[in-house]
Structure 1
């Protein structure tokens, strides 16, 4: 048996290790390259096809460019409401039978809504691709929107609001942040909307909303998985090409004035016993390069037990039960939050001071080379994992096209993160995370209101 010693026959220097790591990562990235084809139908529907015959499944998905921000005053929450309403039934699908059809054919499906988009998808055995396409074409062309369905889904949304927001500890926190960071833009209102707006909506309001936003020229169809490209194109044409194009959608949301002075506010939650102290900032929309940098700053401050805030405030100084920082990415403006929940008698000013101290360090000095490399490794790993499933790839393709305007980001987004320097991290922190640009929120137990 041949043996060798790395210390004698093949000395592994730091240079060798770095070269080997880069070569290995290059192989991984090469393996993760996502091939796709995209084109438009005459009615404006954008179609993206991704073939992967390694597993016998297929994802059919449609993302509509409509979210919580797409509303008029007094009619909030419509996009989230439609997330539910468009499962009610269609001209050719009996009311309440949608999920039964999917499950009885070996599939699963779901939908979700943000402030900027709504996403519907099915995952089927690949021999049911035609069924998935038919379902989504039915949703787009033949939805049944009547008073019975509207009334039913109003109650469903109310129950969801009670469970996820009203009766859930810290469930209103993001809503409170949005209400205080935005004064004009629709992001000031929660994605789920206000129930009085939904109750006030007429059937004509709902029909008009569907006609405006759920049209092919405001959507992208993604088919990913074990497919035959030519056959899939034919079925896409069969099911979607006859759907009428909608009117062009013009968005002209009001711009927010810059925040130039610190604001402090209080909010109360009947479902909590421990307060949360939040430092929040308004940040750029997720298409901006600075938003990518803010993602890295969030990870540096609070992602994992070795992060700066966690190690300092939770592990070492025992001041916080929980601490975190995260960048809420949105199309027009983002929201950046740093928060802490106190341990015992730790007071508000101590927590705010400790959080600001770590943010100030990022503003004042470039992070270490070691920490920078750790961040790059983490984002490279996230990038690889994001494309590890057919459903994940379908979601990324839809999002990158519809919201970022660049489908190819599925393969090259990591290049953005890898190009971010230590100096740029410092520069962006200085640009957005200054004390005079923040809103401090004391998120308190309801009984504290009486004190």
Structure 2
């Protein structure tokens, strides 16, 4: 009876995910190259206006790291029609909220307003794109903001340097070797001319996607977009030609020290394909198999059964050109780090050499079906997904059909991909250790 009910439940889940989650959208280009995506959802009187720029931490020259993240802050300073420091005041006083974030590959700005303020949201983003005020005072102000963020999130945060250490060791020539936030000496060395040139190169309509999602009228919204964005001049085409990494063919060993921790960590890391590659989807399934939930293979074995680790995890860090894949653990008591390495490798080796069970495979499929059902639960989330799939995957409709990729992945493919990318000679082994703070 249980099996019958389980089968019925799975069938219902697939039926729901196959139809109810369909996201309808309209997309087109303005003459200046700005790609526009509109999603109408009149179920609540809210609207999200957002712009994603195809610029991230990797878009820099040597000695000028961190510009994209710096611009995430700088472009809130003000414009010719918005006074310095007035941006957030305008948004909040009109019942809205806004934010921005930057990855190694893109920068995303958005506002969420009551739908009667759609025009305000479009005006704000057109102001940001058309004529931001970039001057030395704004640069000096935002340099201090970024420095404080770096101190808070990286320098003084427990395990805050773990991911930067991975990038430094997994990449030798590609810009992913440097942290998204950059190095403060590079920002300190940046001139006003450097910053203005960066803005002129990357923050242009033909390097951006505008998404408007929520309680809108499509025709009226198109007219407003034409009025606010069509006059913005097209920029030069952005050409990227980043150096390729040589394959890792021999284990890399690294140590790092953190004065903010008392418990060490250890990890296995791998350089993997960019997120558009099919193998990246398979690796995402492998990380879920290994460590998603207390019944996952690594957690049950190392934390529950053998009580060797306080925490264990496996996750993929998706990026456009190359990904990073990390399996890590924090030891219990006197458990040696090399013991944790061996235990983690034992589970990875099983995936490389054996098919996962049918039961575990069905469990994986159900988890990804469930994620798909819940993935577009808000208008703001839909806006982000539409921009990301269009800009970084060149396929806006992945918002509806990406689940088909996961459904098509087989047990045999999971084994093949693990064997292709997660071998011992392809890995970085990192010991992340406490460092005694210097006494005053």
Give the alignment of 1:40-51 within 5 angstroms. Answer: 40-51=29-40
1:21 to partner: Cα distance: 3.4
Q: Is the 8 A contact 2:259 2:437 kept in 1?
A: no
Q: Select 2:234's aligned residue among 237, 245, 258.
A: 245
Q: Could you say which residue in structure 2 is the equivalent of 1:143?
A: 132
Q: Could you say which residue in structure 1 is the equivalent of 2:387?
A: 398
Separation in 2, partners of 1:15, 1:408: 34
Separation in 2, partners of 1:205, 1:363: 48
Match of 1:123, SS state, is: strand
1:28 to partner: Cα distance: 4.1
Q: Could you say which residue in structure 1 is the equivalent of 2:100?
A: 111
Q: Could you say which residue in structure 2 is the equivalent of 1:373?
A: 362
Q: Select 1:78's aligned residue among 56, 63, 67.
A: 67
Separation in 2, partners of 1:431, 1:28: 31
Q: Could you say which residue in structure 2 is the equivalent of 1:305?
A: 294
Q: Could you say which residue in structure 2 is the equivalent of 1:180?
A: 169
Deviation per CA, 1:133-186, whole angstroms, max 9, x where unpaired?
000000000100000000000000000000000000000000000000000000
Match of 2:101, SS state, is: strand
Q: Select 2:222's aligned residue among 230, 233, 242.
A: 233
Normalising by structure 2, we get a TM-score of 0.98
**Within the alignment, does 1:130 sit opposite 2:119 as a pair?**
yes
Q: Select 2:51's aligned residue among 62, 75, 83.
A: 62
1:263 to partner: Cα distance: 1.3
1:349 to partner: Cα distance: 1.4
Q: Select 1:92's aligned residue among 81, 84, 102.
A: 81
**Within the alignment, does 1:35 sit opposite 2:31 as a pair?**
no
Q: Is the 8 A contact 2:10 2:366 kept in 1?
A: no
Q: Could you say which residue in structure 1 is the equivalent of 2:91?
A: 102
Match of 2:20, SS state, is: helix
**Within the alignment, does 1:440 sit opposite 2:429 as a pair?**
yes
Q: Could you say which residue in structure 2 is the equivalent of 1:316?
A: 305
1:429 to partner: Cα distance: 0.3
Separation in 1, partners of 2:14, 2:227: 42
Separation in 1, partners of 2:370, 2:47: 25
**Within the alignment, does 1:424 sit opposite 2:413 as a pair?**
yes
Q: Is the 8 A contact 2:13 2:370 kept in 1?
A: no
Q: Give unmatched runs, 5+ long, in structure 1.
A: 1-11
Q: Could you say which residue in structure 1 is the equivalent of 2:254?
A: 265
Match of 1:165, SS state, is: helix
Match of 1:341, SS state, is: strand
1:22 to partner: Cα distance: 2.0
1:20 to partner: Cα distance: 6.0
Separation in 1, partners of 2:200, 2:381: 29
Query: Residues 46, 443 of structure 1: CA spacing in aligned structure 2 closer, same or farther, 3 A cutoff?
Result: same
Match of 1:60, SS state, is: strand
Q: Could you say which residue in structure 2 is the equivalent of 1:384?
A: 373
1:27 to partner: Cα distance: 3.1
Deviation per CA, 1:9-44, whole angstroms, max 9, x where unpaired?
xxx695686356324531343111000000000000
Match of 2:160, SS state, is: coil
Match of 1:392, SS state, is: helix
Separation in 2, partners of 1:417, 1:50: 25
Query: Residues 86, 53 of structure 1: CA spacing in aligned structure 2 closer, same or farther, 3 A cutoff?
Result: same
Q: Is the 8 A contact 2:115 2:215 kept in 1?
A: yes
**Within the alignment, does 1:165 sit opposite 2:180 as a pair?**
no
Separation in 2, partners of 1:88, 1:60: 19
Deviation per CA, 1:319-344, whole angstroms, max 9, x where unpaired?
00111110000000000001111100
Count residues with an aligned counterpart: 438
Q: Select 2:265's aligned residue among 273, 276, 300.
A: 276
Separation in 2, partners of 1:144, 1:408: 36
Separation in 2, partners of 1:411, 1:193: 35
Deviation per CA, 1:28-71, whole angstroms, max 9, x where unpaired?
43111000000000000000000000011000000000000000
Match of 1:278, SS state, is: strand
Q: Give unmatched runs, 5+ long, in structure 2.
A: none
